[in-house]
Amino acid sequence: MQQKKIYKRKKIVEICNDLKKQGKKIAFTSGVFDILHAGHVHYLQEASRVGDILVVGVNSDKSVKKYKGDLRPIINEQHRTAVVAGLETVNYVFLFSERWNKNNIELIKPHYYIKAGDYTPQQLTSRELVEEYGGEVKIIPVKEKISTTQIIKRIIKLGNDQDYIDVEKENTMYFKVKHKKTQAAVFLDRDGTINKEIQYLHEPEKFQFTKNAVKGLKKIYDVGYKIIIVSNQPGIGLGYYTKEDFFQVNKRMLKGLSEAGILIDKIYFCPHSKSEQCDCRKPGQKLIKRAQQDLNLNLSGCWFIGDRKSDIETGKRAHMSTILVKTGNNSDEVEFKATPDYLADDLKEAADIIISAKNKRKVSG
C-alpha cells in the first residue's frame, strides 16, 4: 500500500492534474519528518482535512544535510518517505532535493499550500506565489510542541554519552565528537604556505601547491597530528571576491590533498579587512580558541606554520611552537616582533622539524 503512494515528483504532477480534472481539491505540505512523532501525526491529520487529497513532499537527505549538518537526518530518505506514506491520512508522497518549496508549488499548483506554525499567511514569502495562480495558504497551529531536535538531545542525555555534544546555531542542531583526551595539532596558514602566493586568490584554476607542500603535509598527517588551516581572507570583506569563491579554491586544495591521502580536520578563516579591527584576524586568537574548543587541543603541544610574521605572532600568543617557511611573501610586517622558533625552506622541512621534536620528547619522556 505504501509503494502505491510514493512517486517521483514528475509523476505526482501528472496525478494531481488528473485529480483536478475530477474536481478534487489538492492540499500540499512538506517536511523532513526525521523521527516521526506525535506532532507530525497531528499536523498531517489536520492537513488532510483541508482538501480532498493530501500530497506530502519529503526533503531528501542531501537537502537536509545542507542546513542541519552532516549527521542529519537520523533516518534516511527512503525510510522517512515510507513512514509518511504509511499514514492513512496521506494520499501521495514524493522526495525533493531543494530546501524550499518554490519549485514544488510552481509544478503542482495545489489548491491549498499548508504550513505549520504560529504565524500568519502574510508572513510567508510563498504566499504571493500561491495566490498568483488562485491557490490559498493555510496555517495549522502547532498543537504539541515536540521537536526531533529535543528528542535527540534527550536520547543523548539518557544514554549519558559523553563522546558527543550538541551544538545549536541559527535554529539548527548538529553533533560533533567531544574528544576526551587533549590532542596535538599543526596549524597552518594557507596562502604562501600551502599554496603559491597570489594576491586575493579566488580562481580555483590558479591554485598551485608550494614546493614540497603535499609531501610535508603527508608527513605531518602520517604521524598523527590534526591539521588545521587558519587564513586571513580580507578580499571577502573588501568585496574583491565572495565566500563561495574562497570555498571553491579550498575545494581545489582539498581534492589535491585527498588524492595524496591527506585529510584536513578544520579550516577557519577571517573574512574581514584590516580596517574592521576584528578579533578573528590573525594574530587575533578567536579562531585559535575556537579550534581548541572544537578539537580539545593542548595548544602548548601544537605548532603554527606560516610565511609571515603575523602567523608567527599568532602561534606565539597561543603558546605554540612556530616555524616560518620561506615559500611565501615573507614580507616585513613591522608591527609584529615575534621571532620564529625555527626557519624552514618549505613544508617538507617544517614537517621534519616537527617529527624530530616529537621523537626527542618520546626519548626524554
Answer yes or no: pTM beyond 0.75.
Answer: no
What is the per-residue pLDDT for 116? Answer: 83
Check pLDDT > 80 for residue 219.
yes
pLDDT at 48: 94
pLDDT of the residue at 286: 95
Q: Going by C-beta distance under 8 Å and a sequence separation of 6 or more, which residues neighbour residue 200?
A: 235, 240, 241
One-letter amino acid of 233: Q
Confidence (pLDDT) at 99: 83
Contacts (Cβ under 8 Å, ≥6 apart) of 169: none
Answer yes or no: are the C-beta atoms of 62 and 44 closer than 8 Å.
no
Q: Is the model's pLDDT at 365 over the cut of 80?
A: no
Q: DSSP secondary structure string, 128-189?
A: HHHHHTT-EEEEE--SS---HHHHHHHHHHHHT-TTEEEEEETTEEEEEE--SS-B-EEEE-
Q: Are 40 and 56 in contact (CB under 8 A)?
A: no
CA–chain centroid gap for 101, Å, is 21
Give the mean pLDDT of 13-33: 95
pLDDT of residue 302: 96
User: Quick check: 177 pLDDT over 60?
Assistant: no
Cβ–Cβ < 8 Å for 312, 193: no
pLDDT at residue number 178: 52
pLDDT at 168: 46
Contact between 304 and 318 under an 8 Å Cβ cutoff? The reply is yes
Beta pairing, strands 164-169 & 172-177: antiparallel
**pLDDT band at residue 37, thresholds of 50, 70 and 90?**
confident
pLDDT tops 90 at residue 331? no
Whether the Cβ atoms of residue 201 and residue 207 lie closer than 8 Å to each other = yes
Mean model confidence pLDDT for the chain: 87
Q: Does residue 171 have a pLDDT over 50?
A: no
CA distance 71 to 164: 12
Q: What is the pLDDT of residues 109-121, one digit of tens each?
A: 999 999 887 566 6
What pLDDT score was predicted for residue 173? Answer: 42
**Residue 229: is its pLDDT beyond 90?**
yes
Percent of the chain topping pLDDT 90: 68
Angle value at C-alpha 47, between 42 and 53, nearest 5 degrees: 130
Cβ proximity of 99 and 91 under 8 Å: no
Grid coordinates of 63: 537537502
Rounded-to-integer distance, Cα 48 and Cα 114, Å: 10
Residue 14's pLDDT band (boundaries 50, 70, 90)? very high
pLDDT tens, residue by residue, 250-286: 999 999 999 999 999 999 999 998 888 899 999 999 9
Determine the pLDDT at residue 127.
86
Give mean pLDDT, residues 295-305: 94
- How many degrees, rounded to 5, is the angle at CA 287 between CA 284 and CA 288? 85
Given pLDDT bands bounded at 50, 70 and 90, which one contains residue 161? very low
Residue 101 grid cell? 518549496
Taking each continuous run of H as one helix and of E as one strand, the counts in the chain are 13, 13
Question: Across residues 38-62, what is the average pLDDT?
Answer: 92
Nearest to 230 by CA among 325, 298, 310, 332: 310
- When pLDDT is cut at 50, 70 and 90, the band that residue 163 belongs to is very low
The pLDDT assigned to 189 comes to: 97
Tell me what pLDDT residue 162 has. Answer: 45
Contact 210, 328 (CB under 8 A): yes
In the predicted structure, residue 174 carries a pLDDT above the cut 70: no
How large is the average pLDDT for residues 207-216?
A: 96
Indicate whether 197 pLDDT > 50. yes
Position 144 pLDDT exceeds 50: yes
Q: Which domains does the chain have, with CATH numbers?
A: 9-140 (3.40.50.620), 148-177 (no CATH), 185-364 (3.40.50.1000)
Output the pLDDT for position 124.
76
